[in-house]
Amino acid sequence: MAEDLINSFMTGPDENGRFGDFGGRFVSETLMPLILALEEEYERAKTDESFWAEMDDLWKHYVGRPSPLYFAERLTEYLGGAKVYLKRDELNHTGAHKINNVLGQILLARRMGKTRIIAETGAGQHGVATATVCARFGLKCVVYMGAHDVERQAPNVFRMKLLGAEVIPVTSGRGTLKDAMNDALRDWVTNVHDTFYCIGTVAGPHPYPAMVRDFQSIIGKEVREQIMEREGRLPDTIIAAIGGGSNAMGLFYPFLDDKDVRIIGVEAGGKGVDEKMQHCASLTGGRPGVLHGNRTYLLQDGDGQILEGYSISAGLDYPGIGPEHAWLHEIGRAEYVAITDVEALAAFQLCCQQEGIIPALEPSHALAHVVKIAPTLPADHLIVMNMCGRGDKDIFTVAKALNVDLTA
Amino acid sequence: MTRIDDTFARLRAEGRKAFVSYIMAGDPDLATSLEVMKGLPGAGVDIIELGMPFTDPMADGPTIQLAGQRALEGGQTLEKTLDMVREFRKDDATTPIVMMGYYNPIYSRGVSRFLDEAKQAGIDGLIIVDLPPEEDEELCIPAQAAGINFIRLATPTTDAKRLPKVLQNTSGFVYYVSITGITGAAAAQAADVAPEVARIKGATDLPVIVGFGITTPESAQAIAGVADGCVVGSAIVKLIGEGHAPAEVLARVSELAEGAHRA
C-alpha cells in the first residue's frame, strides 16, 4: 500500500471525477451539460446546512435512522471467534440501504426543479425506494427494470406500482440490470429538460459515484459513533457485500483513513469465479474497461464486449463495480473476495436460525465471509458487517434453491 | 489532410452537399455488410460511417441496437471490422471511412495499437459517442496525432458556453445531432436545425453535418439544405435488418443520396 505517498484516502475524486485512473465522465455530449449541472448543484447543496437539515429530518422520521448496531451474540458464540456486530440497515423504511441515497438525490432533483424521476433497478430495491420517495414528494416516477427481473421479482414490481410508479420492462440487449441502465440513459438523453436520473449505486458518470457514496456514508458515520459507544474503540474489520457497491462504500468511506481497520468487500461469486464467467465478481474476475459513464473493472470478453453476470442475488447481478472500489482494490486499501451462491445460501439460513433475522441474499454474501474468517480470529477482534437489506423479497428464490415448493 | 478534408474540399468546389451513410459492420454477417459497403460510393455516398458493434450502445435506438446484436451474434469483432476496411480499400482509395461506436472495444484493444491498425487499414476518422471533450486525453488527442480525424457530436444541449470546448479538438467535420434522443427516434425538422447549424458555423470553419432522425430523400434534401450535408443511418440499417438484399438496400441509398445532393 502506498501509505507514505497518500495523506488521505478520502480526498477523491479529483476535479475530473477520477479515483486514480478510475471513474470519469464517459457519456454522450447530450448528457454532458446535464451531469455538469448536477455536479454544480450537488457542490452547492453539500455545503448548504438547510439541505442536510432536511436530510437528517427525513432520515430520522421517515427512514428510521439511525439504524441499530447489533451485537450478534448467538452467531458470535456459534462461530467461536471474533465478536460480530451487524449494522441493521435492513430495518430502514423500504427494507434496505437504498433509500439513504434516494432521499438525497430526490431533494437535489427538487432543488433543480426537475419533475420527472427515472431510475434503473435490478432486484427492485432501488426501484421501490425511488418510487417511495417520489410518492412522498408527489413526483412522477419511471423505473426501468430488465424483463427477466420483472418476472422473478413480481412482488417488488407490484410495490412500485402501488406507490404510483410506472415500471417499464426492458427487453433491449438481454433484458438485465445493465440493459435497464442503458434504457434509463436513453430516456434521459431524450427527456433532458424535466428529468432527473436517480442512479442506485456508486457507479455512472461523475458526480454519481461520489454523490451516492456521500449519501450512503451515513452508514459508516453511525457505525463509528455506535461502536465507540459500545466498545470504546473502532472495529478491527468491516465487511460489506458488493454489486455496484453503494452499501459497502457507505460503510467503508468514513473508515478509509483508519489504517488499522481492515476493509473487506464481498463480491458475488455465483457458481464460481472461473473461465465460465458465471459470476458477478468484477474485481476478482474482470479487468478495467469503460461502461455506463465510468472506467472501472468490468466483466468483458477479449474484444471489450460486456458479459452478463450471474448471481443468485439479483441485486449483485451487475457486470461492473463502482470506480472508487476499483481504486481501493488497486492501491490495496481494501480487500475484495468472492462468495458463491452455495456459501451465501448457507449463511442466509444460519442467520435465520441463529439470530432470528432473515437477511437479503446480498448481505448473505458478506455474512458468508464473516462465517469464514470469524472462527480464525481472537475473541477481542471486532467485526462489523453491513446487513444492508432484509430477505422478504428473496424467500421465493431461496425456496426454489432449497427445492421447496411454496404452492404445495 | 485526410480523405475527409479532401472530400469536403471537392464537394465545396462542386457546390454540393455531402451525403453520409451509416451501416453496422458485420450486420447481419461480414460478407453481406462488406458487399453493401463496397456499393455505397456507387450509390452516391460521399463518406461512409462504419459502426463498430458494442453490447451496450447507450445512445442508440432499437434499430441500431439490433444491428449491433446481429453483428455480434454473427461473430463480428473489432479485428474483423478492421479487416472489412482493409478489404474495401483494395478497390477504393478515396472514399473516407469514419468508424463510429463506443470506447470500450478500443480501450480493450489498447489505444495506440488500435490507432496504428486503424491508420494502416485506411480509416480516416472516429466518432466515439461516449468520449466527450472532458475525456480528450483518452483517444481524441492521440488520434489527431496519428493523423486520424476525431469528429465530435454537438447536440441541442450544447449551449453557447460549452460549444467552444466541443469544437476545440474536433477535426474533419462537426456532427450535429438534430434531436435530443437516441438514433432513429424523432424526425428532424429543417426549420429547427437551421439556426443551430448557423450557430455552430459561427464558431468553426469545419463543415457541419446533421444526423439523427433523417429517413426520407425529402428530409435528406431539407436537412442537407441547411447544413453542409446529412447522415442517414437507421433508415438504411432497418432495411438490412428486414433482410433486404444488398442491391435493394443500395437502391434506397441512391434515392436518399439523390435527395441530399438535390439540396
- Residues A128-179 pLDDT 10s: 999 999 999 999 999 999 998 898 788 899 999 999 999 999 998 888 899 9
- Average of per-residue pLDDT values in chain A: 95
- The CA distances from residue A336 to A5, A236, A308, B216, in Å, are 22, 16, 20, 54
B60 as an active site residue: the answer is: yes
Q: Give yes or no for a contact between B210 and B193, defined as CB atoms under 8 angstroms apart.
A: yes
d(CA A394, CA A399): 9
* Any A CB within 8 A of B158 CB: yes
pLDDT value of residue A307: 93
Question: Is B180–A172 a contact, with Cβ atoms under 8 angstroms apart?
Answer: no
d(CA A260, CA A3): 12
- Residues A273-318 pLDDT 10s: 887 788 899 999 999 999 999 999 999 999 999 998 888 888 888 8
Min mean pLDDT across B45-54, B170-179, B184-193 is at: B184-193
d(CA A196, CA A161): 19
Q: Please name the member of A25, A172, A292 whose beta carbon is closest to the beta carbon of B132.
A: A25
Q: Give yes or no for a contact between A383 and A91, defined as CB atoms under 8 angstroms apart.
A: no
A57, three cell numbers: 429530518
Q: What are phi and psi of B235, to 5 degrees?
A: -65, -30
Question: Percentage of chain B surpassing pLDDT 90?
Answer: 92
Question: Is A189–B181 a contact, with Cβ atoms under 8 angstroms apart?
Answer: yes
Question: Percentage of chain A surpassing pLDDT 70?
Answer: 99
How many Cβ atoms from other residues are within 10 Å of residue A187's Cβ?
A: 19
**How do the domains of chain B map onto residue ranges?**
3-261
d(CA B60, CA B91): 31
A171, three cell numbers: 427487453
Give, to the nearest 10 degrees, the angle between helix B246-262 and helix B30-39.
Answer: 30
Catalytic choice (B5, B27, B46, B49): B49
Within 8 A of B152 by CB-CB distance, chain A residues are 29
pLDDT value of residue A4: 53
Strand-pair category, A293-298 with B152-154: unpaired
Sequential DSSP letters for A104-143 = HHHHHHHHTT--EEEEEESSSHHHHHHHHHHHHHT-EEEE
User: Chain A residue closest to B107 (CA)?
Assistant: A289
Quote ipTM for the complex. Answer: 0.96
- Measured distance between the N- and C-terminal CA atoms of chain A, rounded to whole angstroms: 55
pLDDT value of residue B186: 73
pLDDT value of residue A274: 83
d(CA A36, CA A26): 12
| d(CA B96, nearest CA chain A) in Å | 24
d(CA B103, CA B84): 19
d(CA B254, CA A14): 50
* Any A CB within 8 A of B69 CB: yes
Q: Is the pLDDT assigned to residue B239 strictly greater than 90?
A: yes
- Helices and strands, number each (H, E), in chain A: 16, 14
Within 8 A of A178 by CB-CB distance, chain B residues are 56
Determine if the peptide bond prior to A66 is cis (ω within 30°): yes
User: Chain A residue closest to B101 (CA)?
Assistant: A28
Average pLDDT over residues A18-25: 98
Q: Please name the member of B104, B129, B134 whose beta carbon is closest to the beta carbon of A16.
A: B134
Within 8 A of B82 by CB-CB distance, chain A residues are none
* Any A CB within 8 A of B153 CB: yes
| d(CA A123, nearest CA chain B) in Å | 20
* Any B CB within 8 A of A15 CB: no
Q: Is the pLDDT assigned to residue A337 strictly greater than 80?
A: yes
Q: Is the pLDDT assigned to residue A408 strictly greater than 80?
A: no
Within 8 A of A172 by CB-CB distance, chain B residues are 62, 65
- The CA distances from residue A211 to A75, A113, A245, A261, in Å, are 35, 19, 13, 24
B258 as an active site residue: the answer is: no
d(CA A214, CA A351): 29
State the Cα torsion A199-A203-A205-A210 to the nearest 10°. 90
pLDDT value of residue B179: 84
Q: Is the pLDDT assigned to residue A257 strictly greater than 70?
A: yes
d(CA A296, CA B227): 39
Question: Is A305–B135 a contact, with Cβ atoms under 8 angstroms apart?
Answer: no
Question: Is B104–A185 a contact, with Cβ atoms under 8 angstroms apart?
Answer: no
* Any A CB within 8 A of B132 CB: yes
pLDDT value of residue A173: 83
Within 8 A of B129 by CB-CB distance, chain A residues are 28
Q: Is the pLDDT assigned to residue A3 strictly greater than 70?
A: no
Size of interface A-B (CB pairs under 8 A): 120
Q: Is the dihedral of CA B58, B62, B63, B69 positive or negative?
A: positive
pLDDT value of residue A15: 95
Q: Is the pLDDT assigned to residue A74 strictly greater than 90?
A: yes
Average pLDDT over residues A70-95: 98
- Partnered with residue A237 across adjacent β-strands are A262, A383
A209, three cell numbers: 459515484
Grade residue B183 by pLDDT with cuts at 50, 70 and 90: confident
Q: What is the pTM of this model?
A: 0.96
Kind and range of the H or E run holding A19 = strand A18-19
B173, three cell numbers: 467535420
Grade residue A5 by pLDDT with cuts at 50, 70 and 90: low
B3-261: CATH topology: TIM Barrel (3.20.20)
Average pLDDT over residues A261-268: 97
Question: Is A303–B78 a contact, with Cβ atoms under 8 angstroms apart?
Answer: yes
- The residues near A158 (Cβ < 8 Å, ≥ 6 apart) are none
Give, to the nearest 10 degrees, the angle between helix A32-46 and helix A98-111.
Answer: 100
* Any B CB within 8 A of A178 CB: yes
Within 8 A of B78 by CB-CB distance, chain A residues are 303-304
Q: Please name the member of A29, A173, A185 whose beta carbon is closest to the beta carbon of B158.
A: A29
The closest of B157, B153, B151, B232 to B188, measured between CA atoms, is B232
| d(CA B59, nearest CA chain A) in Å | 6
Determine if the peptide bond prior to B195 is cis (ω within 30°): no
User: Chain A residue closest to B61 (CA)?
Assistant: A186
